[in-house]
């Protein structure tokens, strides 16, 4: 029977072309939605790699006009000391503009282990940085004062960069940068666990962490402050006053890192929700279209259905024939769709893990089969209810 | 072979009740070639559908062979039709998207049989009706007479004991009609197949063993 149905469908390929195209199109849309969704879910399951609760992100305009490094250091250390004197403040670190959950990025490329690696995020923080956001070391150590000694060129990287550049081997003591350019070479002193600094739904990107030195203070405009859980709005008011007094004539903005996380998560969630709604409407349209086409086909094939009943088909047999035909058509569509879908992992189009595409592909196949099954069950039952004596006399 | 007792068929709508068949008693012997005649709307096709178990009578009993059919369910009726009955229709009812051989194989699809066996039986049936050179054609590539011969091949491929033909020559010219009639008579004569044929054509009807006339749902001769 299966071969018979295949032959019947193949011989009607022109009539079935539109239906195959419709299923193919919805399969590709579902594949895109599922890929995006699975990618986000996969990232969501990964640990954040840092703590964002009770951390305040302060952005300020640099108030100091001097370019003297010692004066700058003295100024910012005084500001930091003033802040740490507040009983609710546990730790403070100046940081580069691309603090976690900000929309700012600083990207670089580097020669590491003979490979030119692009899109490396470059972060800067002080020795106290891990204490503020509770970074976890995977290997080696974070910076300390000794790393500020002249001639010291040390670097901390994240696990993602380590695995991309070196694989799964210990890397402390190894070097980053082109060996031919000693001024751009750094010794790895530590590896931190990945941080999802772009929010819960984004993958932890490649990253290097630089020690913020006196030269860095010239451009500094951000700090992270770890506060105690008891810190309330009154404290924030006092903090603002302290900062305003310390940073003369500077514009100061204080935000909770937890709120910044929610904001940046929305940047992923909103398009995902919009895409899901659009896909939902599309699926409803496809389902109605499929239902309509099957219904139309059955009405056109009443004579054939009556004939099959006369020749020995049961009502259930006719019903399952309709369902199987729809399933075979869906299979044709999905074979074509899968050809296009597998190009994404093969060509590494969006640099997503191949497993994300494979799971999305399987989920899309199951979804389309379920959709086609649901849409063909009722027309199938209607076909089974066709009275053969009536159908055979209609033509 | 076929026994109809007090068959009555009433079609009801919310406003009207139509008596299509009224107290039909009919016996068809094994190997008999029976024709049914009557004016349009007299119930010929309804009677054939009831004999073919495609429609159920409002009242009365039908027996085919030793089998009383009144209590059979959908599955048993389908299997019974498949094994015991062959159908030929005025408008052929071939599936235009299938080749001739696949059309002929159709009844065998509902039996447990290998594809090879099906193809062999279909080819033999087509040989019997003189269409072995057309097995890979599509119905639209054939003439009316050839299409009806394909329909006959489809009716006999499962070697049924009874063939029910509903105006098999109705859409054909007299030469083609005679050709089809010859095939049916051969089947009846050589294979012993019982045939019940509805026709409008007196000449064709007189070639059969017995003629039953209907008028307004009642048997008049």
Give the domain range for residue A6.
2-46+264-391
Confidence of residue A213 (pLDDT cuts 50, 70, 90): confident
pLDDT tens-digit series, residues B125-137: 898 888 888 889 9
Domain's final residue, options A202, A224, A250: A250
Least Cα separation, residue B54 to chain A (angstroms): 5
Position A248 scores a pLDDT of 78
pLDDT tens-digit series, residues B168-180: 888 878 888 888 8
For residue B98, the chain A residues in CB contact (below 8 A) are 7-8, 11
Same-domain status, A98 and A230? yes
For residue B81, the chain A residues in CB contact (below 8 A) are 310-312
Dihedral angle at the C-alpha atoms of B137, B138, B140, B144, nearest 10 degrees?
A: 60
The answer to whether residue B97 neighbours chain A at the CB level (below 8 Å) is yes
Closest C-alpha to A37, from A354, A268, A346, A365: A268
Same-domain status, A133 and A81? yes
User: H-helix or E-strand containing B162?
Assistant: strand B162-166
pLDDT tens-digit series, residues A27-62: 999 999 999 999 999 999 989 889 999 999 999 887
CB < 8 Å & 24+ apart, contacts of A13-16 = A16/A329, A16/A332
Angle at B44 between CA B43 and CA B50, to 5 degrees: 85
Position B35 scores a pLDDT of 92
Whether residue A258 is contained in a domain is answered as: no
Same-domain status, A236 and A340? no
pLDDT tens-digit series, residues B22-34: 888 988 898 899 9
Tokens of A266: 């929305």
Same-domain status, A246 and A268? no
- The model carries a pTM of 0.79
Q: How far apart are CA A4 and CA A2, in angstroms?
A: 5
Same-domain status, A380 and A350? yes
Domain's final residue, options A194, A224, A250: A250
**Residue A305 or residue A65, greater confidence:** A305
Whether residue A52 is contained in a domain is answered as: no
Closest C-alpha to A317, from A386, A365, A251, A249: A386
Same-domain status, A210 and A337? no
Position A11 scores a pLDDT of 86
pLDDT tens-digit series, residues A151-186: 788 999 999 999 998 888 999 999 888 888 877 888
Same-domain status, A318 and A269? yes
Cβ count within 10 A of residue B34: 22
A86 Cβ contact partners less than 8 Å away, ≥ 6 residues apart: A235, A238, A239, A242
pLDDT higher than 60, residue B50: yes
Closest C-alpha to A311, from A393, A385, A381, A392: A392
For residue A395, the chain B residues in CB contact (below 8 A) are 91, 93
Position B107 scores a pLDDT of 92
Position A327 scores a pLDDT of 92
For residue B78, the chain A residues in CB contact (below 8 A) are 309, 312-314, 317
A39 Cβ contact partners less than 8 Å away, ≥ 6 residues apart: A203, A352, A356
Confidence of residue A395 (pLDDT cuts 50, 70, 90): low
The answer to whether residue B56 neighbours chain A at the CB level (below 8 Å) is no
What's the total number of domains in chain A? 2
Position B24 scores a pLDDT of 86
Neighbour-count burial of A321, counting CB atoms closer than 10 A to its CB (0-12 exposed, 13-18 middle, 19+ buried): buried
Closest C-alpha to A238, from A120, A85, A92, A371: A85
Cβ count within 10 A of residue A18: 11
Least Cα separation, residue B43 to chain A (angstroms): 13
Write down all domains in chain B, each with its CATH number in brackets.
Answer: 32-57+72-219 (3.40.50.300)
Least Cα separation, residue A316 to chain B (angstroms): 9
Q: How far apart are CA A257 and CA A133, in angstroms?
A: 10
């Amino acid at each position: 029977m299966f071969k018979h149905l295949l032959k019947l469908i193949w011989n009607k390929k022109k009539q079935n072309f539109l239906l195959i195209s419709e299923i193919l199109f919805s399969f590709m849309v579902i594949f895109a939605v599922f890929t995006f969704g699975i990618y986000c879910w996969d990232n969501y399951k990964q640990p954040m790699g840092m703590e964002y609760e009770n951390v305040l992100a302060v952005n300020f305009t640099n108030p100091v006009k001097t370019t003297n490094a010692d004066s700058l250091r003295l100024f910012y250390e005084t500001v930091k000391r003033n802040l740490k004197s507040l009983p609710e403040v546990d730790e403070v670190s100046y940081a580069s503009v691309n603090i976690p959950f900000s929309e700012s990025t600083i990207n670089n490329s580097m020669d590491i282990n003979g490979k030119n690696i692009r899109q490396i995020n470059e972060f800067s923080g002080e020795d106290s940085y891990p204490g503020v956001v509770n970074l976890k070391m995977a290997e080696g150590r974070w910076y300390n004062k000794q790393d500020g000694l002249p001639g010291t060129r040390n670097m901390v990287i994240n696990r993602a960069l380590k695995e991309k550049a070196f694989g799964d081997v210990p890397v402390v003591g190894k070097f980053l940068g082109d060996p031919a350019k000693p001024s751009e070479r750094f010794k790895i002193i530590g590896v931190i666990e990945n941080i999802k600094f772009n929010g819960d739904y984004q993958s932890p990107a490649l990253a290097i962490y630089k020690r913020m030195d006196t030269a860095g203070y010239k451009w500094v405009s951000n700090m992270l402050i770890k506060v105690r859980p008891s810190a309330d709005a009154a404290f924030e008011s006092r903090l603002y006053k302290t900062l305003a007094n310390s940073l003369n004539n500077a514009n100061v903005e204080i935000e909770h890192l937890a709120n910044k996380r929610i904001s940046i998560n929305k940047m992923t969630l909103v398009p995902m929700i919009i895409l899901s709604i659009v896909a939902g409407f599309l699926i409803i349209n496809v389902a109605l279209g499929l239902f309509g086409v099957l219904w139309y086909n059955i009405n056109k094939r009443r004579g054939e259905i009556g004939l099959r009943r006369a020749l020995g088909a049961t009502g259930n047999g006719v019903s399952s024939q309709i369902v199987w035909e729809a399933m075979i058509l869906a299979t044709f569509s999905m074979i074509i769709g899968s050809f296009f879908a597998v190009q994404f992992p093969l060509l590494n189009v969006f640099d997503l893990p191949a497993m994300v595409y494979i799971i999305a592909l399987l989920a899309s196949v199951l979804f389309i089969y379920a959709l086609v099954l649901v849409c063909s069950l009722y027309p199938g039952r209607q076909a089974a209810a066709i009275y053969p004596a009536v159908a055979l006399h209609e033509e | 072979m076929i026994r109809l007792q007090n068959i009555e068929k009433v079609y009801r709508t919310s406003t009207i009740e139509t008596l299509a068949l009224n107290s039909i008693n009919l016996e068809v012997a094994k190997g008999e070639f029976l024709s049914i005649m009557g004016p349009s709307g007299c119930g010929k096709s309804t009677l054939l559908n009831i004999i073919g178990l495609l429609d159920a009578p409002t009242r009365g009993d039908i027996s085919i062979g030793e089998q009383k059919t009144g209590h059979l369910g959908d599955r048993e009726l389908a299997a019974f039709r498949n094994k015991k009955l062959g159908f030929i229709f005025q408008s052929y009812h071939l599936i235009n998207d299938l080749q001739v051989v696949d059309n002929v194989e159709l009844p065998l699809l509902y039996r447990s049989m290998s594809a090879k066996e099906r193809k062999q039986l279909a080819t033999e049936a087509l040989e019997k009706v003189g269409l072995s050179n057309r097995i890979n054609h599509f119905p639209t590539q054939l003439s009316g007479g050839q299409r009806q011969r394909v329909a006959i091949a489809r009716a006999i491929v499962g070697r049924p004991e009874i063939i029910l033909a509903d105006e098999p020559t109705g859409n054909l010219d007299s030469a083609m009609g005679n050709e089809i009639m010859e095939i049916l008579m051969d089947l009846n004569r050589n294979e012993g197949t019982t045939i019940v044929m509805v026709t409008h054509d007196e000449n064709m009807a007189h070639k059969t063993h017995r003629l039953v006339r209907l008028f307004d749902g009642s048997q008049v001769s």
